[in-house]
């Protein structure tokens, strides 16, 4: 077994998995990441890790630039990101030590209770809320892990840790709560996070920076400072309020009070800072929709549905017509000022049911910028509505078929609906192309849907015997999708 290193600096030591343009994959430090950001193609991370590392990089870059101020400043700041971020990190090297006097994203003044193993930090390992199904190496004493692994998992855990029962200790002179915790900011409502991707990592960072003018539109509108530049002395106080209510303060959260030990498989884990939820706080990478009707409308994060492909949500994800906190990820506003034909759009996150973690999900789209136009995105939304009508037709037709045969319809419907959406998931690019072409009528999409519902119905419902053929004919009459104006 490799002996564990007892020192680790996130600026100088490698811990972030990346892929370079030539296809080489390896770990890099924060310093090397910025030095080579223009030849690093992408991060090699699962969805919660990708989101967490991107938030860290955005936070570092925005703090280093102290901006940009507005859209013009954003357009011109791209060349400054690398040199200013490197200068910023060099001045704060001591604040990025994993162990030591100022441990990164940890509370030095915690009273150690060593109530959790390091495995707890990895959502894929069997520990606490995590299932044992795919992890057969679990040990009640925990497993030893290298500092690079710990650094990545610590950052991700602070962003995505699920709520539930948690240890209680003291932070300075203050008790860390009553033993219960809420979801960390990035897990609230299991939201879809959106990231714009450029031709290399430096471009990706630039695309996802917000301007000070954009930040003013967030609840509270405070720019703030990162957690490492204003570490709180306790869970309460004015310094805590400034961190939890500001843009930079929320990007890299301290949702859990954690204290690691250099040579131990255990750590102290307790409740950290409490971050405002919607509508008092809004995550800028997340889409907010309005749910309810009339005066009862309330903002909510667009959440991941593991049974639905994200193409069905693009109408909301790409919504630039903002109403208060509602709308798509704020970085999308930059695309209006950019040239080019397409944009790489990543969507993903982690799904939880209360305190239980269910799964991760991610999708990648190469989208024509034309789709951001209000007319085109409305055309796209109508296409999704027609697809939903198609599902209703399939369900109705199968119901009539089974009713005629006096058979149970549940199994038939579930199988058919799954097959229907699988076909549409594979063919959703047709709708994007139709929506982006002013000359393409929506009738083309309707014809595709009609063919799909007939194929789905035919595959789901046997029609060999005379009685089955009669039932099939009865159900088939329900397979109708109305025409559209577009």
Q: How do the domains of the chain map onto residue ranges?
A: 16-184+203-271, 288-375, 378-476
Residue 464 CA from chain centroid, whole number? 47
pLDDT at 127: 57
**Lowest-confidence segment of 135-144, 181-190, 271-280, 408-417 by average pLDDT:** 135-144
The mean pLDDT of 44-56, rounded to a whole number, is: 98
Residue-wise pLDDT tens digits, 293-310: 888 899 999 999 999 999
User: Quick one: angle between helices 147-160 and 47-65, nearest 10?
Assistant: 90
- How many CB atoms are closer than 10 A to CB 138? 14
Strand order in the sheet with 16-20: 25-28, 16-20, 40-43
pLDDT of residue 469: 96
- What is the SS3 assignment for 350? strand
Quickly state the pLDDT bin for 412 (edges 50, 70, 90): confident
Mean pLDDT of 341-369: 95
Three-state secondary structure of 352-363: EECCEEEEEEEE
Looking at residue 143, its pLDDT comes to: 84
**What is the model's pLDDT at position 236?**
83
Per-residue pLDDT for 172 more than 90?
A: no
Give the pLDDT score at 173. 86
């Amino acid at each position: 077994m490799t002996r564990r290193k007892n020192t680790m600096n996130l600026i100088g030591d490698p811990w972030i998995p990346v892929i370079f343009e030539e296809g080489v994959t390896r770990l890099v430090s924060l310093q090397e990441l910025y030095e080579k950001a223009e030849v690093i193609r992408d991060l090699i991370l699962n969805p919660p890790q990708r989101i967490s590392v991107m938030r860290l990089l955005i936070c570092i870059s925005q703090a280093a630039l102290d901006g940009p101020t507005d859209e013009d400043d954003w357009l011109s700041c791209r060349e400054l990101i690398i040199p200013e971020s490197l200068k910023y990190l060099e001045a704060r090297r001591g604040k990025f030590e994993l162990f030591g006097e100022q441990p990164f994203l940890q509370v030095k003044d915690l009273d150690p209770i060593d109530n959790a193993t390091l495995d707890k930090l990895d959502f894929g390992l069997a520990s606490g809320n995590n299932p044992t199904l795919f992890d057969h190496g679990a040990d009640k004493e925990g497993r030893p892990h290298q500092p690079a692994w710990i650094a990545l998992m610590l950052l991700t855990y602070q962003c995505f840790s699920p709520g539930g029962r948690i240890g209680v200790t003291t932070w300075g002179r203050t008790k860390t709560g009553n033993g219960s915790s809420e979801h960390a900011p990035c897990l609230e409502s299991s939201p879809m996070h959106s990231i714009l991707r450029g031709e290399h990592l430096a471009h990706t960072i630039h695309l996802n920076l917000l301007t000070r003018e954009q930040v003013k539109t967030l609840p509270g509108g405070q720019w703030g400072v990162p957690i490492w530049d204003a570490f709180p002395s306790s869970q309460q106080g004015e310094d805590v309020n400034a961190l939890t209510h500001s843009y930079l303060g929320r990007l890299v959260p301290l949702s859990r009070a954690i204290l690691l030990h250099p040579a131990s498989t255990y750590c102290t884990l307790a409740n950290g800072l409490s971050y405002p939820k919607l509508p008092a706080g809004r995550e800028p990478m997340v889409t907010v929709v309005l749910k309810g009707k009339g005066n009862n409308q309330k903002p909510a994060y667009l959440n991941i549905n593991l049974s639905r492909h994200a193409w069905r949500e693009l109408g909301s994800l790409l919504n630039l017509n903002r109403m208060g906190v509602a709308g798509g990820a704020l970085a999308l506003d930059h695309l209006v000022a950019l040239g080019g034909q397409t944009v790489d759009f990543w969507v993903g996150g982690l799904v939880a049911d209360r305190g239980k973690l269910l799964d991760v999900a991610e999708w990648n789209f190469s989208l024509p910028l034309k789709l951001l136009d209000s007319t085109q995105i409305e055309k796209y939304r109508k296409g999704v509505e027609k697809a939903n009508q198609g599902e209703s037709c399939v369900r109705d037709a199968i119901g009539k078929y089974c009713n005629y045969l006096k058979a149970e319809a549940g199994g038939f419907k579930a199988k058919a609906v799954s097959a229907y959406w699988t076909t549409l998931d594979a063919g959703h690019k047709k709708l994007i192309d139709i929506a982006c072409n002013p000359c393409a009528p929506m009738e083309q999409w309707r014809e595709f849907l009609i063919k799909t519902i007939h194929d789905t119905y035919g595959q789901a419902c046997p029609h060999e015997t005379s009685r089955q053929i009669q039932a099939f004919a009865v159900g088939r009459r329900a397979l109708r999708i109305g025409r559209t104006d577009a």
